[in-house]
């Protein structure tokens, strides 16, 4: 038997309602803030991610779904959301519109070749928002606030945004040297992986989970204290905007994102329950990414949030989303001869935008009632019998168990009034 590929999941009817509810919140919150939807291809030229995400990152080095197509092009399935959006903005010259360009993507499939486990799949889905052409910290603050508003609207509680600034090409190299000098003094006590990180990306040592490394990281120089004036001012601006607005945040100098393109602001939301330490959402500012991909000098900020992880968090916080009913009116037939009439009634109700359904498997009247109860129909209309001789149908309220008779020709009016 053919199974779904490892690390993939079907979205089944019993769950799609909850997903749609989440999607509705995402759309509404983004639209309220002036963001419009963008959809970019599921695959891109491999080079886009090598240059955008960064050749040295784990994502590019060992997690991409890359293949050569029949035209001998190297193609890669999107391993993250931002690069494709940036490419589309440059290619379609969206920056010619009045700035900023504010876009969001809704449940874009994201592919990473990893070993699946709790909260980790090979194909997952992300909602993301990106804002181009705004260098002011209010753009950063806006994203964070809208994001938190959206999660709150869904009913999630106790989520805190962790923010940090990792500087810019101006000040980060200087800090790098400082950090390396500090780490060198404690080199022997670092864990094996961190010894490797020392050369490649010393920042990563700061969020190592090994006890020994944590201790060393605690007293490491903090980048916050070594930002250039511009970066420091930007970060101060972000903090005061969030504070003034009442958006809760926590400064976490250990946040280091795994993608190379971030500058200045980086932020994360960590899952509060279920599995501690798992990121629900990650994002930040990327002021040099657009030029790096041969676009104009255009600053950017954005974030991506994993929908599967939102669903996990909703589940662990015991939140149930309002889901649309499957059927409001079930039209039962008393005998097989009444089915054409039932079919007409169903069609008539649907024309009036009433969710209606009928028997399609030849059930007895009793079984039809049972079925109607199971699919949650509030009313059952009975077609046939003595009422039919009078041109009427009987309607039963499944909750109050009250029944009444009404002309079949007025059936739609009966439910719309």
Partner RNA sequence: GUGGGUAUAGUUCAGUGGUUAGAGCGCCAGAUUGUGGCUCUGGAUAUCGUGGGUUCGACCCCCACUACCCACCCCA
Least distance from RNA to the Cβ atom of residue 97, Å: 27
Interface with RNA, residue 284, by CB under 7 A? no
Least distance from RNA to the Cβ atom of residue 99, Å: 25
For every residue of 146-186, DSSP letters joined together read HHHHHHHHTT--S--EEEEE---TTTHHHHHHHHHHHHHHT
- Sole binder of RNA in the list 14, 98, 117, 244 (CB under 7 A): 117
Q: How many angstroms separate the CA atoms of 177 and 159, rounded?
A: 34
Interface with RNA, residue 218, by CB under 7 A? no
Helix %, strand %, coil % of the chain (to 5): 45, 20, 35
Nearer to RNA, 222 or 398 (CB): 398
Interface with RNA, residue 234, by CB under 7 A? no
- Of 336-365, binders to RNA (CB under 7 A) are 363-365
The alpha-carbon radius of gyration of the chain (Å, integer) is 28
Stretch that binds RNA, among 100-108, 230-238, 306-314, 408-416 (CB under 7 A): 306-314
Stretch that binds RNA, among 157-165, 225-233, 304-312, 347-355 (CB under 7 A): 304-312
Which one, of 85, 86, 64, lies nearest residue 75 by Cα?
Answer: 64
- Of 23-52, binders to RNA (CB under 7 A) are none
Stretch that binds RNA, among 179-187, 216-224, 290-298, 367-375 (CB under 7 A): 367-375
- Sole binder of RNA in the list 185, 246, 399, 417 (CB under 7 A): 399
Q: How many angstroms separate the CA atoms of 110 and 123, rounded?
A: 5
- Sole binder of RNA in the list 102, 197, 226, 285 (CB under 7 A): 197
For the record, the structure tokens of 136 come out as: 């002011």
Beta 161-165 vs 249-251: how paired, if at all?
parallel
Q: How many angstroms separate the CA atoms of 152 and 171, rounded?
A: 36
Q: How many residues bind RNA (CB under 7 A)?
A: 70
- Sole binder of RNA in the list 80, 142, 287, 357 (CB under 7 A): 80
Least distance from RNA to the Cβ atom of residue 233, Å: 26
- Sole binder of RNA in the list 21, 23, 46, 58 (CB under 7 A): 58
Q: How many angstroms separate the CA atoms of 276 and 7, rounded?
A: 21
Q: How many helices (H) and strands (E) does the chain have?
A: 15, 16
Q: How many angstroms separate the CA atoms of 175 and 81, rounded?
A: 29
Angle of helix 192-200 versus helix 172-185 axis, rounded to 10: 150
Stretch that binds RNA, among 11-19, 99-107, 234-242, 257-265 (CB under 7 A): 257-265
Residues near RNA (CB under 7 A) are 3-8, 57-59, 63, 80, 110, 112, 114-121, 124, 126, 193, 197, 204, 208-210, 256-259, 268, 275, 277-282, 304-306, 308-309, 334, 363-367, 369-374, 380, 382, 384-387, 394, 396, 398-399, 401, 403
């Amino acid at each position: 038997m053919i199974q779904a590929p490892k690390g993939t999941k079907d979205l089944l009817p019993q769950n799609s309602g909850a997903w749609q509810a989440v999607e509705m919140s995402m759309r509404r919150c983004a639209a309220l803030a002036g963001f419009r939807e963008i959809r970019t291809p599921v695959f891109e030229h491999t080079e886009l991610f090598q240059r955008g995400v960064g050749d040295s990152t784990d994502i590019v080095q060992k997690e991409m779904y890359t293949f050569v197509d029949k035209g001998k092009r190297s193609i890669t399935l999107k391993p993250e959301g931002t690069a494709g959006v940036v490419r589309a903005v440059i290619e379609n010259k969206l920056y010619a519109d009045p700035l900023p360009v504010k876009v969001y993507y809704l449940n874009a499939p994201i592919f990473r070749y990893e070993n699946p486990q709790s909260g980790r799949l090979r194909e997952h889905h992300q909602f993301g928002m990106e804002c181009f052409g705004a260098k002011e910290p209010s753009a950063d603050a806006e994203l964070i606030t809208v994001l938190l508003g959206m999660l709150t609207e869904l009913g999630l509680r106790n989520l805190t945004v962790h923010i940090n600034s990792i500087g810019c090409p101006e000040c980060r190299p200087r800090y790098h040297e400082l950090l390396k000098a500090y780490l060198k003094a404690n080199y022997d006590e670092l864990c094996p992986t961190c010894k490797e990180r020392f050369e490649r990306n010393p920042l990563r040592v700061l969020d190592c989970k090994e006890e020994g490394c944590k201790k060393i990281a605690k007293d490491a120089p903090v980048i916050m204290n070594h930002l250039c004036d511009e970066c420091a001012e930007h970060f101060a601006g972000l903090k005061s905007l969030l504070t003034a607005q009442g958006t809760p945040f926590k400064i976490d100098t250990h946040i280091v994102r795994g993608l190379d393109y971030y500058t200045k602001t980086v932020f994360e939301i960590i899952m509060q329950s279920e599995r501690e330490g798992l990121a629900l959402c990650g994002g930040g500012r990327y002021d040099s990414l657009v030029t790096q991909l041969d676009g104009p000098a255009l600053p950017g900020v954005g974030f991506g949030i994993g929908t599967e992880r939102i669903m996990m968090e909703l589940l662990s916080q015991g939140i149930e989303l309002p889901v649309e009913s499957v059927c409001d009116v079930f039209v039962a037939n008393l005998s097989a001869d009444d089915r054409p009439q039932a079919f007409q009634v169903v069609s008539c109700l649907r024309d009036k935008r009433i969710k209606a359904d009928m028997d399609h498997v030849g059930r007895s009247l009793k079984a039809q009632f049972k079925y109607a109860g199971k699919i949650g129909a509030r009313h059952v209309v009975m077609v046939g019998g003595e009422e039919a001789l009078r041109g009427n149908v009987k309607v039963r309220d499944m909750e109050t168990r009250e029944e009444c008779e009404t002309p079949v020709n007025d059936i739609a009016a009966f439910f719309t009034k």
